A = this chain, B = another copy of it.
Protein backbone atom coordinates (compact mmCIF):
# COMPACT_ATOMS: atom_id res chain seq x y z
CA UNK A 1 0.00 0.00 0.00
CA UNK A 2 1.46 3.27 -1.03
CA UNK A 3 -0.70 6.33 -1.19
CA UNK A 4 2.22 8.56 -2.07
CA UNK A 5 2.89 9.19 -5.74
CA UNK A 6 6.56 8.23 -5.68
CA UNK A 7 9.73 10.23 -6.32
CA UNK A 8 9.13 10.86 -10.01
CA UNK A 9 5.76 12.42 -9.36
CA UNK A 10 6.94 14.38 -6.35
CA UNK A 11 9.58 15.91 -8.59
CA UNK A 12 6.86 16.71 -11.09
CA UNK A 13 4.79 18.20 -8.28
CA UNK A 14 7.68 20.47 -7.30
CA UNK A 15 7.95 21.60 -10.88
CA UNK A 16 4.22 22.39 -11.10
CA UNK A 17 4.37 24.19 -7.80
CA UNK A 18 7.32 26.30 -8.86
CA UNK A 19 5.48 27.23 -12.06
CA UNK A 20 2.40 28.24 -10.09
CA UNK A 21 4.39 30.26 -7.56
CA UNK A 22 5.91 32.16 -10.42
CA UNK A 23 2.98 32.52 -12.81
CA UNK A 24 -0.13 32.82 -10.69
CA UNK A 25 -1.45 34.67 -7.73
CA UNK A 26 -5.03 34.28 -6.49
CA UNK A 27 -5.69 38.00 -7.05
CA UNK A 28 -5.47 37.29 -10.78
CA UNK A 29 -8.77 35.47 -10.48
CA UNK A 30 -10.84 38.49 -11.35
CA UNK A 31 -8.89 39.48 -14.46
CA UNK A 32 -10.06 37.56 -17.58
CA UNK A 33 -7.01 38.67 -19.50
CA UNK A 34 -4.65 37.31 -16.90
CA UNK A 35 -6.57 34.06 -16.80
CA UNK A 36 -6.34 33.67 -20.56
CA UNK A 37 -2.62 34.38 -20.51
CA UNK A 38 -2.06 32.00 -17.61
CA UNK A 39 -3.91 29.19 -19.36
CA UNK A 40 -1.71 29.71 -22.38
CA UNK A 41 1.44 29.40 -20.30
CA UNK A 42 0.13 26.37 -18.42
CA UNK A 43 -0.77 24.66 -21.70
CA UNK A 44 2.69 25.45 -23.02
CA UNK A 45 4.11 23.61 -20.03
CA UNK A 46 1.86 20.62 -20.66
CA UNK A 47 -0.39 21.11 -17.66
CA UNK A 48 -3.69 21.79 -19.40
CA UNK A 49 -5.54 20.21 -22.36
CA UNK A 50 -3.22 17.26 -22.03
CA UNK A 51 -5.10 14.90 -24.31
CA UNK A 52 -5.63 17.42 -27.12
CA UNK A 53 -3.32 17.71 -30.13
CA UNK A 54 -1.06 20.72 -30.31
CA UNK A 55 -2.48 21.77 -33.63
CA UNK A 56 -5.81 22.51 -31.96
CA UNK A 57 -4.29 24.33 -29.01
CA UNK A 58 -3.75 21.40 -26.68
CA UNK A 59 -0.52 20.22 -25.10
CA UNK A 60 -0.68 16.66 -26.46
CA UNK A 61 0.80 14.83 -23.51
CA UNK A 62 0.95 11.08 -23.08
CA UNK A 63 -1.80 9.73 -20.82
CA UNK A 64 -0.64 9.86 -17.21
CA UNK A 65 -3.41 9.76 -14.67
CA UNK A 66 -1.10 10.51 -11.77
CA UNK A 67 0.34 13.57 -13.41
CA UNK A 68 -3.22 14.68 -13.99
CA UNK A 69 -3.97 14.11 -10.34
CA UNK A 70 -0.87 16.07 -9.22
CA UNK A 71 -1.80 18.95 -11.50
CA UNK A 72 -5.35 19.03 -10.16
CA UNK A 73 -4.15 19.01 -6.56
CA UNK A 74 -1.60 21.74 -7.06
CA UNK A 75 -3.84 24.00 -9.14
CA UNK A 76 -6.58 23.60 -6.56
CA UNK A 77 -4.14 24.42 -3.76
CA UNK A 78 -2.99 27.56 -5.57
CA UNK A 79 -6.58 28.38 -6.59
CA UNK A 80 -5.38 28.61 -10.16
CA UNK A 81 -7.78 28.13 -13.09
CA UNK A 82 -7.67 24.85 -14.96
CA UNK A 83 -9.41 24.17 -18.26
CA UNK A 84 -12.42 26.47 -18.74
CA UNK A 85 -15.44 24.87 -17.12
CA UNK A 86 -18.38 23.80 -19.19
CA UNK A 87 -19.34 20.97 -21.44
CA UNK A 88 -17.67 22.47 -24.48
CA UNK A 89 -14.31 21.31 -23.21
CA UNK A 90 -15.51 18.25 -21.33
CA UNK A 91 -18.00 16.82 -23.84
CA UNK A 92 -17.96 18.43 -27.28
CA UNK A 93 -14.21 18.48 -27.81
CA UNK A 94 -13.69 14.77 -27.04
CA UNK A 95 -16.59 13.95 -29.33
CA UNK A 96 -15.18 16.01 -32.17
CA UNK A 97 -11.75 14.49 -31.67
CA UNK A 98 -13.24 11.04 -32.02
CA UNK A 99 -15.97 11.56 -34.61
CA UNK A 100 -15.65 15.03 -36.16
CA UNK A 101 -14.52 15.98 -39.65
CA UNK A 102 -11.11 17.71 -39.83
CA UNK A 103 -12.71 21.03 -40.72
CA UNK A 104 -15.05 20.75 -37.74
CA UNK A 105 -12.13 20.05 -35.42
CA UNK A 106 -10.22 23.02 -36.78
CA UNK A 107 -13.14 25.38 -36.66
CA UNK A 108 -14.59 24.52 -33.28
CA UNK A 109 -11.91 23.09 -31.02
CA UNK A 110 -9.42 26.01 -30.79
CA UNK A 111 -11.92 28.73 -29.79
CA UNK A 112 -13.58 26.31 -27.36
CA UNK A 113 -10.28 25.57 -25.64
CA UNK A 114 -9.47 29.26 -25.54
CA UNK A 115 -12.71 29.90 -23.71
CA UNK A 116 -13.85 32.16 -26.52
CA UNK A 117 -17.03 30.23 -27.20
CA UNK A 118 -19.21 28.22 -24.84
CA UNK A 119 -21.45 25.32 -25.77
CA UNK A 120 -24.90 24.28 -24.62
CA UNK A 121 -26.04 20.68 -24.62
CA UNK A 122 -29.29 19.90 -26.43
CA UNK A 123 -30.16 16.38 -25.31
CA UNK A 124 -33.07 16.35 -22.83
CA UNK A 125 -36.57 17.28 -23.89
CA UNK A 126 -39.72 17.79 -21.86
CA UNK A 127 -40.96 14.24 -21.39
CA UNK A 128 -37.73 12.48 -22.22
CA UNK A 129 -36.14 12.28 -18.79
CA UNK A 130 -33.74 9.36 -18.55
CA UNK A 131 -34.94 8.09 -21.93
CA UNK A 132 -32.73 10.35 -24.04
CA UNK A 133 -33.39 8.42 -27.25
CA UNK A 134 -37.02 9.53 -27.25
CA UNK A 135 -36.02 12.77 -29.02
CA UNK A 136 -38.90 14.58 -30.70
CA UNK A 137 -37.19 17.78 -31.88
CA UNK A 138 -37.17 17.41 -35.65
CA UNK A 139 -34.72 18.52 -38.33
CA UNK A 140 -35.40 18.61 -42.06
CA UNK A 141 -32.85 19.27 -44.74
CA UNK A 142 -34.23 22.15 -46.83
CA UNK A 143 -32.09 23.85 -49.49
CA UNK A 144 -28.79 22.84 -47.92
CA UNK A 145 -29.76 23.74 -44.41
CA UNK A 146 -31.22 21.88 -41.48
CA UNK A 147 -34.48 23.45 -40.37
CA UNK A 148 -35.12 22.58 -36.76
CA UNK A 149 -38.35 22.69 -34.75
CA UNK A 150 -38.99 21.54 -31.24
CA UNK A 151 -37.82 22.09 -27.70
CA UNK A 152 -34.90 21.18 -25.46
CA UNK A 153 -34.74 21.47 -21.69
CA UNK A 154 -32.11 21.31 -18.93
CA UNK A 155 -29.52 23.13 -21.01
CA UNK A 156 -27.10 24.69 -18.57
CA UNK A 157 -26.19 28.27 -19.07
CA UNK A 158 -27.67 28.46 -22.60
CA UNK A 159 -28.06 32.23 -22.55
CA UNK A 160 -24.26 32.63 -22.39
CA UNK A 161 -23.47 30.03 -25.03
CA UNK A 162 -22.71 30.72 -28.66
CA UNK A 163 -23.26 27.16 -29.89
CA UNK A 164 -25.23 24.07 -29.09
CA UNK A 165 -24.63 20.40 -29.86
CA UNK A 166 -28.00 18.72 -30.08
CA UNK A 167 -29.73 15.43 -30.73
CA UNK A 168 -32.34 15.98 -33.46
CA UNK A 169 -34.67 13.48 -35.10
CA UNK A 170 -33.83 13.70 -38.79
CA UNK A 171 -35.07 10.29 -39.98
CA UNK A 172 -38.63 10.09 -38.70
CA UNK A 173 -39.26 6.69 -40.30
CA UNK A 174 -36.23 4.93 -38.84
CA UNK A 175 -36.36 2.95 -35.57
CA UNK A 176 -36.12 5.05 -32.39
CA UNK A 177 -32.34 4.93 -31.89
CA UNK A 178 -31.48 5.11 -35.58
CA UNK A 179 -33.37 8.23 -36.54
CA UNK A 180 -31.34 10.76 -34.61
CA UNK A 181 -28.53 13.01 -35.83
CA UNK A 182 -25.94 14.94 -33.84
CA UNK A 183 -26.10 18.54 -35.06
CA UNK A 184 -24.13 21.65 -34.17
CA UNK A 185 -25.87 24.98 -34.33
CA UNK A 186 -25.47 28.65 -33.63
CA UNK A 187 -27.73 29.81 -30.80
CA UNK A 188 -27.54 33.42 -31.89
CA UNK A 189 -30.28 33.37 -34.49
CA UNK A 190 -33.92 34.44 -34.67
CA UNK A 191 -35.33 30.89 -34.70
CA UNK A 192 -34.14 30.28 -31.16
CA UNK A 193 -35.70 31.38 -27.89
CA UNK A 194 -34.02 30.76 -24.57
CA UNK A 195 -36.00 30.81 -21.37
CA UNK A 196 -34.29 30.40 -17.99
CA UNK A 197 -35.66 27.79 -15.59
CA UNK A 198 -35.70 28.79 -11.96
CA UNK A 199 -34.60 25.91 -9.77
CA UNK A 200 -35.80 24.76 -6.37
CA UNK A 201 -33.05 26.79 -4.66
CA UNK A 202 -34.21 29.96 -6.38
CA UNK A 203 -31.25 30.07 -8.73
CA UNK A 204 -31.44 29.75 -12.50
CA UNK A 205 -28.85 27.37 -13.81
CA UNK A 206 -30.81 25.70 -16.57
CA UNK A 207 -32.87 26.78 -19.56
CA UNK A 208 -35.52 25.74 -21.95
CA UNK A 209 -34.57 26.28 -25.58
CA UNK A 210 -37.29 26.59 -28.21
CA UNK A 211 -36.58 25.97 -31.90
CA UNK A 212 -38.87 27.65 -34.35
CA UNK A 213 -37.47 27.08 -37.84
CA UNK A 214 -33.98 27.43 -36.46
CA UNK A 215 -31.31 26.78 -39.06
CA UNK A 216 -27.85 25.26 -39.34
CA UNK A 217 -25.72 24.33 -42.37
CA UNK A 218 -26.08 20.84 -43.82
CA UNK A 219 -22.54 19.84 -42.90
CA UNK A 220 -22.74 20.89 -39.23
CA UNK A 221 -23.43 17.28 -38.42
CA UNK A 222 -21.08 15.01 -36.47
CA UNK A 223 -21.11 11.46 -37.80
CA UNK A 224 -23.61 10.44 -40.44
CA UNK A 225 -27.36 11.01 -40.50
CA UNK A 226 -29.01 8.66 -38.04
CA UNK A 227 -25.77 8.05 -36.13
CA UNK A 228 -26.44 10.72 -33.54
CA UNK A 229 -27.26 8.28 -30.79
CA UNK A 230 -23.88 6.52 -31.10
CA UNK A 231 -22.06 9.83 -31.39
CA UNK A 232 -23.70 11.10 -28.20
CA UNK A 233 -22.69 7.95 -26.35
CA UNK A 234 -19.00 8.77 -26.82
CA UNK A 235 -19.74 12.08 -25.16
CA UNK A 236 -21.79 10.63 -22.32
CA UNK A 237 -19.05 8.16 -21.61
CA UNK A 238 -16.78 11.12 -21.03
CA UNK A 239 -19.31 12.70 -18.71
CA UNK A 240 -19.78 9.51 -16.68
CA UNK A 241 -16.17 8.56 -16.08
CA UNK A 242 -14.28 10.43 -13.40
CA UNK A 243 -14.22 9.00 -9.94
CA UNK A 244 -16.94 10.95 -8.27
CA UNK A 245 -15.07 13.78 -6.62
CA UNK A 246 -14.43 12.31 -3.22
CA UNK A 247 -12.31 15.33 -2.20
CA UNK A 248 -15.35 17.51 -2.50
CA UNK A 249 -17.26 15.33 -0.05
CA UNK A 250 -14.32 15.12 2.33
CA UNK A 251 -14.22 18.93 2.33
CA UNK A 252 -17.93 19.05 3.04
CA UNK A 253 -17.54 16.64 5.91
CA UNK A 254 -14.84 18.82 7.46
CA UNK A 255 -17.14 21.80 7.14
CA UNK A 256 -19.96 19.82 8.68
CA UNK A 257 -17.79 19.06 11.70
CA UNK A 258 -16.94 22.74 12.01
CA UNK A 259 -20.64 23.57 11.68
CA UNK A 260 -21.54 21.14 14.46
CA UNK A 261 -18.95 22.83 16.64
CA UNK A 262 -20.44 26.25 16.05
CA UNK A 263 -24.18 25.50 16.25
CA UNK A 264 -26.06 25.29 19.50
CA UNK A 265 -28.38 22.44 20.36
CA UNK A 266 -30.17 22.14 23.65
CA UNK A 267 -27.97 24.92 24.93
CA UNK A 268 -24.64 23.26 24.08
CA UNK A 269 -22.48 22.87 20.97
CA UNK A 270 -24.23 20.39 18.67
CA UNK A 271 -21.05 18.35 18.34
CA UNK A 272 -21.23 17.45 22.02
CA UNK A 273 -24.64 15.83 21.51
CA UNK A 274 -24.12 12.04 21.53
CA UNK A 275 -26.87 11.56 18.93
CA UNK A 276 -25.13 13.96 16.55
CA UNK A 277 -21.76 12.34 17.22
CA UNK A 278 -23.14 8.92 16.43
CA UNK A 279 -24.61 10.11 13.16
CA UNK A 280 -21.45 11.98 12.20
CA UNK A 281 -19.37 8.89 12.90
CA UNK A 282 -21.75 6.73 10.88
CA UNK A 283 -21.51 9.14 7.96
CA UNK A 284 -17.73 9.17 8.25
CA UNK A 285 -17.76 5.38 7.84
CA UNK A 286 -19.48 5.71 4.46
CA UNK A 287 -17.21 8.53 3.47
CA UNK A 288 -13.93 6.85 4.41
CA UNK A 289 -15.08 3.70 2.66
CA UNK A 290 -15.72 5.67 -0.52
CA UNK A 291 -12.43 7.52 -0.16
CA UNK A 292 -10.39 4.33 -0.13
CA UNK A 293 -12.63 2.79 -2.76
CA UNK A 294 -11.70 5.76 -4.94
CA UNK A 295 -7.99 5.29 -4.28
CA UNK A 296 -8.31 1.64 -5.14
CA UNK A 297 -10.04 2.41 -8.42
CA UNK A 298 -7.54 5.12 -9.28
CA UNK A 299 -4.66 2.78 -8.53
CA UNK A 300 -6.13 -0.03 -10.63
CA UNK A 301 -7.00 2.27 -13.50
CA UNK A 302 -3.39 3.46 -13.46
CA UNK A 303 -2.27 -0.13 -13.89
CA UNK A 304 -4.80 -0.80 -16.63
CA UNK A 305 -6.78 -3.17 -14.41
CA UNK A 306 -10.52 -3.44 -14.01
CA UNK A 307 -11.69 -2.42 -10.52
CA UNK A 308 -14.81 -4.55 -10.98
CA UNK A 309 -18.47 -3.77 -10.30
CA UNK A 310 -17.66 -0.91 -7.94
CA UNK A 311 -17.02 1.33 -10.97
CA UNK A 312 -20.75 1.28 -11.68
CA UNK A 313 -21.60 2.23 -8.12
CA UNK A 314 -19.78 5.51 -7.60
CA UNK A 315 -22.67 7.75 -8.55
CA UNK A 316 -25.11 6.04 -6.20
CA UNK A 317 -22.51 6.02 -3.42
CA UNK A 318 -21.93 9.76 -3.62
CA UNK A 319 -25.66 10.39 -3.98
CA UNK A 320 -26.20 8.53 -0.74
CA UNK A 321 -23.35 10.33 1.01
CA UNK A 322 -24.74 13.65 -0.22
CA UNK A 323 -28.17 12.81 1.21
CA UNK A 324 -26.63 11.92 4.55
CA UNK A 325 -24.62 15.13 4.72
CA UNK A 326 -27.71 17.13 3.78
CA UNK A 327 -29.96 15.50 6.36
CA UNK A 328 -27.44 15.91 9.13
CA UNK A 329 -26.63 19.50 8.21
CA UNK A 330 -30.31 20.37 8.21
CA UNK A 331 -30.69 18.84 11.65
CA UNK A 332 -27.66 20.72 12.97
CA UNK A 333 -28.50 24.16 11.64
CA UNK A 334 -32.00 23.86 13.06
CA UNK A 335 -33.75 27.23 12.85
CA UNK A 336 -31.48 28.47 10.08
CA UNK A 337 -33.06 25.94 7.74
CA UNK A 338 -36.16 28.16 7.79
CA UNK A 339 -34.22 30.60 5.60
CA UNK A 340 -33.81 30.68 1.84
CA UNK A 341 -30.15 30.04 1.00
CA UNK A 342 -30.00 32.03 -2.23
CA UNK A 343 -31.54 35.23 -1.02
CA UNK A 344 -29.29 38.02 -2.13
CA UNK A 345 -31.04 41.25 -1.29
CA UNK A 346 -28.55 42.52 1.23
CA UNK A 347 -29.12 39.70 3.69
CA UNK A 348 -25.90 38.03 4.70
CA UNK A 349 -26.13 34.30 4.03
CA UNK A 350 -25.30 32.26 7.13
CA UNK A 351 -25.72 28.60 7.99
CA UNK A 352 -28.75 28.39 5.70
CA UNK A 353 -26.25 27.99 2.87
CA UNK A 354 -26.36 24.31 3.89
CA UNK A 355 -29.87 24.20 2.45
CA UNK A 356 -28.19 24.37 -0.94
CA UNK A 357 -26.71 21.01 -0.05
CA UNK A 358 -30.14 19.85 1.14
CA UNK A 359 -31.64 20.59 -2.27
CA UNK A 360 -28.47 20.02 -4.26
CA UNK A 361 -28.19 16.45 -3.02
CA UNK A 362 -31.61 15.85 -4.56
CA UNK A 363 -30.40 17.40 -7.79
CA UNK A 364 -27.42 15.02 -7.85
CA UNK A 365 -29.75 12.06 -7.58
CA UNK A 366 -31.73 13.28 -10.57
CA UNK A 367 -29.08 14.68 -12.92
CA UNK A 368 -27.17 12.53 -15.41
CA UNK A 369 -29.48 9.53 -15.05
CA UNK A 370 -31.78 9.02 -12.09
CA UNK A 371 -30.86 6.71 -9.25
CA UNK A 372 -33.19 4.03 -10.59
CA UNK A 373 -31.33 4.02 -13.90
CA UNK A 374 -28.12 3.68 -11.90
CA UNK A 375 -29.62 0.73 -10.03
CA UNK A 376 -30.45 -0.97 -13.32
CA UNK A 377 -26.88 -0.47 -14.50
CA UNK A 378 -25.43 -1.84 -11.26
CA UNK A 379 -27.78 -4.82 -11.25
CA UNK A 380 -27.25 -5.68 -14.91
CA UNK A 381 -23.67 -4.71 -15.65
CA UNK A 382 -22.25 -4.94 -12.13
CA UNK A 383 -24.05 -7.98 -10.75
CA UNK A 384 -24.96 -9.76 -13.98
CA UNK A 385 -28.71 -9.86 -13.34
CA UNK A 386 -30.99 -10.15 -16.39
CA UNK A 387 -31.98 -7.06 -18.31
CA UNK A 388 -35.59 -5.90 -18.14
CA UNK A 389 -37.68 -8.35 -20.11
CA UNK A 390 -35.01 -11.01 -20.21
CA UNK A 391 -34.80 -14.09 -18.04
CA UNK A 392 -38.53 -14.61 -18.16
CA UNK A 393 -38.01 -18.16 -19.28
CA UNK A 394 -40.81 -17.99 -21.80
Contact = CB atoms under 8 A, between A and B. Distances in A.
A273 interface: yes
A278 B276 CA distance: 11
A346 interface: no
A274 B272 CA distance: 12
Contacts of A63: none
Interface string A246-286: 00000000000000000000000000011100100000000
5 contacts: A273-B274, A274-B274, A274-B275, A275-B275, A275-B278
Interface in A275-332: 275, 278
A107 to B, nearest CB: 42
Contacts of A275: 274-275, 278
Nearest to A278: B275
Contacts of A274: 273-275
A275 B280 CA distance: 12
Number of identical monomers bound together in the oligomeric complex: 2
A116 to B, nearest CB: 46
Interface residues of A, number: 4
A274 B274 CA distance: 6
Contacts of A273: 274
A347 to B, nearest CB: 34
A376 to B, nearest CB: 16
A377 to B, nearest CB: 21
Contacts of A278: 275
A229 to B, nearest CB: 21
A278 B331 CA distance: 14
A334 to B, nearest CB: 16
A274 B275 CA distance: 6
A273 B275 CA distance: 9
A289 to B, nearest CB: 21
A318 to B, nearest CB: 26
Nearest to A273: B274
A273 B273 CA distance: 11
A275 B278 CA distance: 7
A274 B278 CA distance: 10
A50 to B, nearest CB: 46
Nearest to A392: B389
A278 B277 CA distance: 13
A375 to B, nearest CB: 15
A179 B386 CA distance: 30
A273 B274 CA distance: 8
A357 to B, nearest CB: 23
A300 B170 CA distance: 59
A9 to B, nearest CB: 44
Interface in A160-176: none
A278 B274 CA distance: 10
A61 to B, nearest CB: 49
A167 to B, nearest CB: 22
Nearest to A275: B278
A217 B192 CA distance: 82
